[in-house]
């Protein structure tokens, strides 16, 4: 297995744990979920941190802290829209 795929697996394990703990569920669309996990793994490879794959990394450390997954926005987004911006975490059905 490539290093990238190993990272993706780690991201999957981590997101599943977090979703369980927080009372969310992961995107039931496996392809969409895979896309976000792929993005998270790529962010780690590029920046060394779990930055949100669908937000812009500015280079300003204080700003970028806000978008380390799970970002500061996800709870409100899930409450309001039913899922976070990246469609990783969903409200339980």
Q: How big is the site for ligand SF4, counted in residues (CB under 6 A)?
A: 14
Segment interacting with ligand SF4, rule: CB under 6 A, options 6-14, 26-34, 58-66, 69-77: 69-77
Q: Does 88 bind ligand SF4 (CB under 6 A)?
A: yes
Regarding 25 and contact with ligand SF4 (CB under 6 A), the answer is no
Per-position DSSP letters for the chain, written without gaps between them: --HHHHHHHHHHHHHHHHHHHHT-EE-S-HHHHHHHHHHHHHHHHHHSS-B-TTS---S-HHHHHTTBSSPTTHHHHHHHHSB-TTS-EE---
- Quick one: which of 26, 37, 52, 90 contacts ligand SF4 (CB under 6 A)? 52
The answer to whether 27 contacts ligand SF4 (rule: CB under 6 A) is no
């Amino acid at each position: 297995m490539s290093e990238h795929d190993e990272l993706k697996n780690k991201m999957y394990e981590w997101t599943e744990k977090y979703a369980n703990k927080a009372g969310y569920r992961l995107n039931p669309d496996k392809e969409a979920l895979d896309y976000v996990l792929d993005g998270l793994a790529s962010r780690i490879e590029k920046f060394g941190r779990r930055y949100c794959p669908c937000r812009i990394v500015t280079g300003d450390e204080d700003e970028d802290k806000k978008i380390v997954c799970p970002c500061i926005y996800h709870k409100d987004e899930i409450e309001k829209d039913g899922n976070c911006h990246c469609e990783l975490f969903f409200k339980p059905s």
